Chains A and B, each alone.
Chain A
Amino acid sequence: MPSTAFFLKAVSVLFQYGMLLVLLAYLARFLRITAGEFRRERASLQQVQAAPHEAVLSVVEARESSGLLGRRYAFSDLLLIGRGEDCDIVIPDAYVSHHHAQITARGNQYVLEDLGSRNHTYVNGAEIDGRTYLTPGDIIRIGFVSLKFER
């Protein structure tokens, strides 16, 4: 039957073009994904330029004797916390290491890093492992002192 053979041939050709169309659709999707990624990248870069680096740490909990309660520390790119006299925030507390933790600006965000302290650094009650990004409103606990991170 020639008509069946013709029909099969036609379907086969349709499938061939179908594969080509699928590949073209993929090509279009890939370009769209790339464009989306770059747009997001550029948006995050512009955000950096718009917002000046500024963050505030306020002491929300501390022993009365330390004299830290209620204090606020504004900083822009680097903040060192510890018992040592050269720190930006000096916490006179035996549970705090000399250089206990530091906060550094990275891109548009701030990173809290534990500097290998003996009694660890906690964010929102959880011990941090190495480094972590801070989000506004996070509570950092070092020794008996709790600090609130704000932008």
Chain B
Amino acid sequence: MSQRISAQRMSWGLLALSFLLLAFGLGVLALRSSQTGVTQSVLQPLAYLPWVAAVAAAAMFLQAMLLHCRVSPWLLPFSFFFASVGLVEIARLKPILFIPQLRWLLIGMAAFLVVLRCGRRIVELTSYQYMLGLSCLVLLALPLLFGTEIGGSRNWLVLGPVQVQPSEFSKILLVLFLSAYLADHEEVLTSAKHRFLLFRLPPLRFIAPLLCIWGMAILMFVVARDLGSALLFFGIAVFMTYMATGSRSYVFIALLVFVAAAAVSYALFGHVRVRFDIWLNPWADPNGMAYQVVQSLFAFGSGGVWGTGFAHGHPGLIPEVHTDFIFAAIAEELGLIGSLTLLLGYAVFFLIGIRTALSGETMERILLSAGVSVVFLLQAFIIMAGVTKFLPLTGITLPFVSYGGSSMVSSYLLLGLLAVLSQRKGGHAA
């Protein structure tokens, strides 16, 4: 009992820390504009303070509600840590997007509340597994048919004034589908009968839906040039299959398929070849194709251990720094300390998700919460690895940190799912 209360106190502390971070960051920016005498700055405290206050009030209300419903106390403070690091960097890099990002954060929290309210229904949705799988594929195919190309990837839908990235939302459906499907077919998939070379496989008709998703991911990768989402989808499928079956055969087969697909697309498509060559040697063309990656590496280098100090670096040189490359800006201005804290944040967040999964009661709930945790971890890993040139660069957002409406709302929807699953016995339905 006392343990729970101390955890509650600590979670309020974490939330307060993220407000402190936001206040310090905005304070630095306000003082800087008053010092340099730029009066026509886009960032007017009177304009954004009401929004910041609204976000803070909404966060405190939600946290109080979560504690009342006996949901895990850590989820919201963690998302707020990520969001406040992102907010200060966005305010510094693209001041014009600061208020929109605050607005997206509010919309995200509203979405979180909705998921929390009808949480049980959403978990029940997993009974309609093939509908989930089909709607996931339809959502993926929409931008291929009606999409618009923004920033080199054909994965956007323009709905009136807002631009939506359907792949951000279809990953939620993918996790729901996979958890339902794998929980239902757990036994068939583990009791493999057919021997094929070194691998043991169940009959083809049981793995067909999985192959279908993998095929779709590769198709997206080819047609939409959306390498990041393709990698994420593929990774989710592999991780969740392994977690459900514990069989290494699937992982090996998936890796073989992946290597084959990568080799074929390297040979066939120019944009894949460019990405790969940049990764192998960015110094061949540092001012042309590899400009983004090279600038990002410079940002990491000039940041050092303690960083250049907030608002004292030059991360503005990197193209797309407020979305995909925000981690490079954080590393430059807040240094190794800032980026390590962010990395550790994602790792501990994953640990909390896995603890939720282990206390789950049915296979479906276990797989669902583990799958949601994997989505966050994998997404953060893919983009951090891309920005630091650990893996070839693939554009994808850093969950909760990057600027982006679709990304923010879908991350909060996933967080809502995790919150519903972490609700302990005896908690009131929200």
Residues 19 to 77 of chain A near chain B (Cβ within 8 Å): 19-20, 22-27, 29-34, 36-37, 41
The answer, yes or no, to whether A132 is at the interface (CB within 8 Å) is yes
Least Cβ distance of B226 to chain A in Å?
32
- A26 near B341: Cβ-Cβ < 8 Å: yes
| Residues of B close to A32: CB separation below 8 A | 10
Least Cβ distance of A38 to chain B in Å?
9
| Residues of A close to B348: CB separation below 8 A | 30, 33-34
- B27 near A37: Cβ-Cβ < 8 Å: no
| Residues of A close to B340: CB separation below 8 A | 27
Contact with A along B269-308 (1 / 0, CB 8 A): 0000000000000000000000000000000000000110
The answer, yes or no, to whether B21 is at the interface (CB within 8 Å) is yes
**Cross-interface CB contact of A5 among B10, B20, B35, B344, cutoff 8 Å:** B35
The answer, yes or no, to whether A8 is at the interface (CB within 8 Å) is yes
| Residues of B close to A129: CB separation below 8 A | 362
Q: Report which residue of B32, B312, B348 has the largest number of chain A beta carbons within 10 angstroms of its beta carbon.
A: B348
- B306 near A20: Cβ-Cβ < 8 Å: yes
The answer, yes or no, to whether A131 is at the interface (CB within 8 Å) is yes
Least Cβ distance of A77 to chain B in Å?
19
- B337 near A24: Cβ-Cβ < 8 Å: yes
- A12 near B14: Cβ-Cβ < 8 Å: no
A26 CA / B84 CA spacing, docked (Å)? 12
Least Cβ distance of A124 to chain B in Å?
12
- A11 near B31: Cβ-Cβ < 8 Å: yes
User: Given contacts A12-B35, A20-B337, are A25 and B355 in contact (CB under 8 A)?
Assistant: no
A32 CA / B348 CA spacing, docked (Å)? 10
Contact with B along A2-23 (1 / 0, CB 8 A): 0001001101100110111011
The answer, yes or no, to whether A144 is at the interface (CB within 8 Å) is no
| Residues of B close to A116: CB separation below 8 A | none
A27 CA / B21 CA spacing, docked (Å)? 13
A11 to B, closest residue via Cβ: B31
Least Cβ distance of B120 to chain A in Å?
11
A25 CA / B341 CA spacing, docked (Å)? 10
A23 CA / B18 CA spacing, docked (Å)? 9
Total contacts A to B, CB within 8 angstroms? 84
Residues 300 to 324 of chain B near chain A (Cβ within 8 Å): 306-307, 309-310, 312
Q: How would you classify the secondary structure of chain B's contact residues: helix, strand, loop or mixed?
A: helix
B354 to A, closest residue via Cβ: A37
- B310 near A8: Cβ-Cβ < 8 Å: no
| Residues of A close to B7: CB separation below 8 A | 36
The answer, yes or no, to whether A130 is at the interface (CB within 8 Å) is yes
A72 CA / B191 CA spacing, docked (Å)? 35
Least Cβ distance of A126 to chain B in Å?
12
| Residues of A close to B351: CB separation below 8 A | 34, 37
- B345 near A26: Cβ-Cβ < 8 Å: yes
User: Given contacts A20-B337, A27-B337, A34-B351, are A15 and B27 in contact (CB under 8 A)?
Assistant: yes
Q: Report which residue of A18, A32, A36 has the largest number of chain B beta carbons within 10 angstroms of its beta carbon.
A: A18
A23 CA / B331 CA spacing, docked (Å)? 13
The answer, yes or no, to whether B234 is at the interface (CB within 8 Å) is no
Q: Report which residue of A24, A30, A34 has the largest number of chain B beta carbons within 10 angstroms of its beta carbon.
A: A30
Least Cβ distance of A13 to chain B in Å?
9
A16 CA / B14 CA spacing, docked (Å)? 19
Least Cβ distance of A62 to chain B in Å?
28
- B24 near A15: Cβ-Cβ < 8 Å: yes
| Residues of A close to B341: CB separation below 8 A | 23-24, 26-27, 30
| Residues of B close to A29: CB separation below 8 A | 10, 13-14, 17
**Cross-interface CB contact of B25 among A19, A33, A37, cutoff 8 Å:** A19
A34 CA / B351 CA spacing, docked (Å)? 8
- A22 near B21: Cβ-Cβ < 8 Å: yes
- A12 near B17: Cβ-Cβ < 8 Å: no
- A22 near B24: Cβ-Cβ < 8 Å: yes
- A12 near B31: Cβ-Cβ < 8 Å: yes
A19 CA / B334 CA spacing, docked (Å)? 9
The answer, yes or no, to whether B28 is at the interface (CB within 8 Å) is yes
- A26 near B17: Cβ-Cβ < 8 Å: yes
- A8 near B34: Cβ-Cβ < 8 Å: yes
- A22 near B337: Cβ-Cβ < 8 Å: no
The answer, yes or no, to whether B81 is at the interface (CB within 8 Å) is yes
Contact with A along B335-356 (1 / 0, CB 8 A): 0011011001100100110010
Query: A: which residues have CB within 8 A of B?
Result: 5, 8-9, 11-12, 15-16, 18-20, 22-27, 29-34, 36-37, 41, 129-133
Q: 13 interchain pairs (CB within 8 A)?
A: A5-B35, A11-B31, A15-B24, A18-B24, A19-B24, A19-B310, A20-B306, A22-B17, A22-B21, A23-B338, A34-B351, A36-B7, A131-B362
- With contacts A19-B334, A37-B352, A131-B363 known, what are 15 further pairs, Cβ within 8 A? A15-B25, A15-B27, A15-B28, A19-B310, A22-B21, A23-B334, A24-B337, A26-B81, A27-B337, A27-B340, A29-B13, A33-B10, A37-B351, A37-B355, A130-B362
